[in-house]
Every structure is written in C-alpha cells, then in structure tokens.
Chains A and B, each alone.
Chain A
Amino acid sequence: MEEQLAELAAQVAAIEAKGNMTNTMFAETYYYLSIPLMIIIHAGFLAYEMGASRAKNALSSGVKNILAIAFVIPAFYFFGWWVYWGFPTGFSLSEGPNGISGAAYANAIAWPWGESAAYMGPNTEDQIDGVFWGAFTLFAATTASIMSGAVIERIQTVGFVILAIILGGFSWTLAAAWGWHADGWLVQNWGVHDFGAAGLVHAVAAFFALGVLINLGPRIGKFNPDGTANHLAGHNMPFTATGLMLIVVGFWGFLMACLVVGGEAWSWGANFTTIYGTPTNLGALSFNILMGVSGGIIGAWLFTRDPFWMMSGALAGLISVASGLDIYFPSLTFIIAIGAGIMLKPAATMLENMGIDDAVGAVTVHGTMGIYGMLMLGIFASGYPALLGADAPTVSFVGQLVGISVFVAIGFSTGYVSSLVLKMLGMLRVPEAAEIAGLDTVKVPAQAYPEGIMASPPASQ
C-alpha cells in the first residue's frame, strides 16, 4: 500500500512538474510573440512617416526611424532596464513595499555585467527575463517612434538619435517606474492606473516631442509671415494610411505585453493580471481595443472625412481608452473613443495656431489623447483598487491628474532641455540650404522614386 502511495505521489509530482513547465513555456512564448507584433508598430511608423514626408525627404525620414530602433535597443539593454527597476520609489532609489525595486534590486538583475549578467543573457534557468526585457525594449522603441514623426524633414540624424536614446532609455522609463510598477510611488501614493500606458508612454513621448519642436522650429514654408499655416502635404497618403493601420496591428502586441501571465513565481496569481496585480484578461482587451479603434475612426470621420485623420483617429481612440482597457465596459469605451476622434483635428489645429509644426499630429494624437484618456479613467473608474490586497490605494480623478501632470512634466522637461543642448551644439537642425534641396539628395545614397510619381488633385472639403 505504501509503495503504491509513493508511486502515486511520484506520478502526481511528475504531472505537476510537466504542468508547471508547460505554464512557464506558455509565459515565455507569450511575451516572445509580443515582440515581433510590436515590431509591426515600427513597420507602421516607417511607412507612415515616409509617406507623410515630401518626396524629397522620404528616405531620410525612413533612415531616422530605422536608426531609432537600432539605438534604443542597446540603450535599453545597457541602462534603461536598470532605470525601470531602480527608480520606482523615486530618486531615493530605495526598496519599495513589494521588494522588487530600488538600486540594490536593479543592481542584482539589470546590469549586463557582474553577477546580474546572469539575468541579462542566455540562461536555461531563467525563462522570463529575456522576453520581459524584449517586450519592454519595444515599448521604449515605440516612444522614440512617436517623437520621430513630429520632427521629420528638418532634424539632424545624430541629434535625433541622441534624443531617441534619452527618451527611450530614460524619460519614459522613469515614468514607467513611477506609474507602471507595483512599487511605483504614483501607484502607491496616488492610486495611478494607466494599464495601456496612455500617459506613461504616449503622453511622455508626445510632450518630449513638443519640447523638441519648440527648439527645432517649423519646416521652411510651414508658416507665413503673418503666422498663418500652410499645409505641407506628404507625398504618399496611401502609404501613410496603411502605415497607421499597421501601427494598430502592432498595438495588439503592445497591449498583450501589458498583461502579467499567471501561474509563475513572479506572477500575481494563477490568472492574467495587470502590471499592478489587479485582475483582467485577454477578453477585456479584445472587447475594448476593437471598440476603441472603431470609435476613434468614426469620430474622426465625422469631422474630417480624411483618411489620414481617420486612421489617426483609430490611434487616438485606442490611446484615449488605453488606461482602462482592463476594466472599461465596451459601450463606454466606444463613447470615450468617439470623443477622442472628434477632438483630434481641432486639437491639432490649435497646436498649429500656436506656431508649432508637428508634421504628423503626434503631439495631439499621443499627448492630448493621453491626457484625455488618463482623466477619463479618473472619472469613470474612481474608487477602483489600484493594487491587490486590503487597504490598497484607489483610483481617483485627482490621482490621475497628478499622474498625468508628472508624466507630461517628465516628457516635456527632458525633451526641451536635451534638444536645447543639441541646438547649442549645432546638432539639432539641418542647414537651410539642405532643407530646401531635400534631405535625400543631401545625404541618402539612394532614390525613393527614380521614375517619378503621378499626382492627382484633392477633393474640396
């Protein structure tokens, strides 16, 4: 009898071990597959920005996008990952209540040298850090691509890359440490909730871009002497609209990577949770992503009937509900996203009237809608526990206001100061003659359209 029991126990243990390994491999695969999906975001940004450039700048805009990814990846490997784990409690670098933050913790897992290098390279006993890092790296690259579109056709390549490294390696990472981490002081003290990163990715990147735009200045010909604006049409609207749709595709990867898979030692429980440990699942994302995209497009169509703004509306709709994709009711999601689509063009025009030349509306799509989204969550989800456990801080409008204010401040201040320094060093803007000639002719050893392109007149509004 005892022998049979022992054999049974061994069999149960073997089944359990197999089940655990299956769960571990599922978790690893889940984050791994989010990475190529997020690469699609960058394929989208590449197409979108090249199409939104005039033909004389199409390839140089693309070069900028390609380099943004290439340099943000090592930046996030060498120091960005450390910033995320080191800073949650603030500049004190102390350990937070969950024991997964602070300088000591970050030193132990996030430097690619010394003992912590065990977590920063191939290791058969570590099936999560590589894919976690990979997903976060693509979040970082996304911030750089958001900024990239705003500054096309007049920024220097290396100056732009330096800004991308600062934004992707530090600015957004600091915001994520504070507001997208269970030990983050914005979460612990203010109940900040930003599930899909409307504020800490989109608004941070957009206001970083705004800081850069102030120092960079508008493209030649954008504004008349009396301050009125001219529309500098991109050369390939179909390419731009398709690129925007690709960004929407990629966002499925971005948002699935915002979930924490259950059942592992590092999980919050047996099932999917948010990064705060609060419950949600892929069903919530499916309902709300689709309704958000739909609402944003319809809202933008109502007021513009322009495919560029309609596809930008898809992004605006998605961003406006990103903070609460985990808990919104789909019909409410749709209504909030419609509002984003409707506000989009007037908000972009307002920025333009202030003398800011944001070539693709990035500040509006990602910044204005990031703010709107964070605040909407404060209104509709007020009272929600922001973390697991008893006595957890709760979501509130004031907390969301504090959160988005901090995110905007981080983005704008780091973007403005770093671009000002580059401007003083003569590394920000291309010379006037090069801008007039076209950046492809000046510095790209390839031709976008050697056989020319056909033109057709637009319909009247």
Chain B
Amino acid sequence: MGFPYDTPSWDGVSGVIFVGGVNGPTLIYSVIAIAICIAALLYGNGVEAKKYKNHK
C-alpha cells in the first residue's frame, strides 16, 4: 500500500504510479477480485436455480 517510491514527492517520478507499485500486492488484489467474480457467479446461479425450481 501507499506511495511506491522512497521519497514522498512527484519530482522526477516516471513509470507506474498506482498504489503499492509493481512490487505491491497486485497479485493478491487480482486473486481476490477473480475469486469474488467466481463466487458471485456460483451464488447467483444457485439463487436462480431455486427460482426456476419453484416455477416447474
């Protein structure tokens, strides 16, 4: 987290500017985001399946 450069100044900064930088927890954020997408689809499918069942 936080500013990806040693000195808290924008002077001379060139390259990535996102939170944490490339050495930050980019993999962790991405894995969590992907896991949420999959969980959302599984949960959503379960909810819809129940609805379909009630209308058979």
Contact = CB atoms under 8 A, between A and B. Distances in A.
A382 B10 CA distance: 14
Given A302-B43, A332-B29, A385-B8, A327 B17 contact: yes
Interface string A317-337: 000000010111101101100
B33 A334 contact: yes
Contact of B33 (A328, A335, A381, A390): A335
B20 to A, nearest CB: 7
A335 B19 CA distance: 14
A381 B13 contact: no
B18 A327 contact: yes
Contacts of A388: 10-11
Contacts of A301: 40, 44
Residue from the set A278, A295, A324, A332 with the largest chain B CB neighbour count within 10 Å: A332
Contacts of B26: 329, 331
A298 B37 contact: yes
Interface string A42-70: 00000000000000000000000000000
A294 to B, nearest CB: 9
Given A279-B13, A302-B43, A302-B44, A380 B19 contact: yes
Q: How large is the interface on B (under 10, 10 to 19, 20 to 34, 35 or more residues)?
A: 20 to 34
A328 B9 contact: no
Nearest to B43: A302
B45 to A, nearest CB: 12
B10 A302 contact: no
Interface string A379-397: 1111111001111101000
Contacts of B33: 295, 331, 334-335, 338
Given A279-B13, A385-B8, A331 B40 contact: no
Contacts of A324: 19
B47 interface: yes
Given A324-B19, A390-B9, A384 B3 contact: yes
Contacts of B37: 298
Given A279-B17, A302-B40, A327-B17, A383 B29 contact: no
B44 to A, nearest CB: 7
A172 to B, nearest CB: 27
A329 B19 contact: yes
A284 B37 CA distance: 22
Interface residues of A, number: 33
A324 B2 CA distance: 12
Interface in B1-52: 1-3, 8-11, 13, 17-20, 24, 26, 29-30, 32-33, 36-37, 40, 43-44, 47, 51
A327 B13 CA distance: 13
A301 B42 CA distance: 13
A331 B29 contact: yes
A459 interface: yes
Contacts of B51: 459
B49 to A, nearest CB: 13
A443 interface: no
Contact of B1 (A279, A326, A382, A385): A382
Contacts of A329: 18-20, 24, 26, 29
A298 B47 contact: no
A280 interface: yes
A18 interface: no
B2 to A, nearest CB: 4
Contacts of B1: 379-382
Interface in A252-277: none
A338 B51 CA distance: 24
B14 to A, nearest CB: 9
Contacts of B47: 305
Contact of B19 (A295, A328, A392): A328
Interface of B: 1-3, 8-11, 13, 17-20, 24, 26, 29-30, 32-33, 36-37, 40, 43-44, 47, 51
16 contacts: A284-B17, A298-B40, A301-B40, A305-B44, A327-B17, A335-B33, A380-B19, A382-B1, A382-B2, A383-B2, A385-B8, A389-B10, A390-B9, A392-B8, A392-B9, A394-B3
Given A329-B18, A334-B36, A382-B1, 10 more contacts: A298-B36, A298-B40, A301-B44, A335-B29, A380-B1, A382-B2, A388-B11, A392-B8, A394-B3, A394-B8
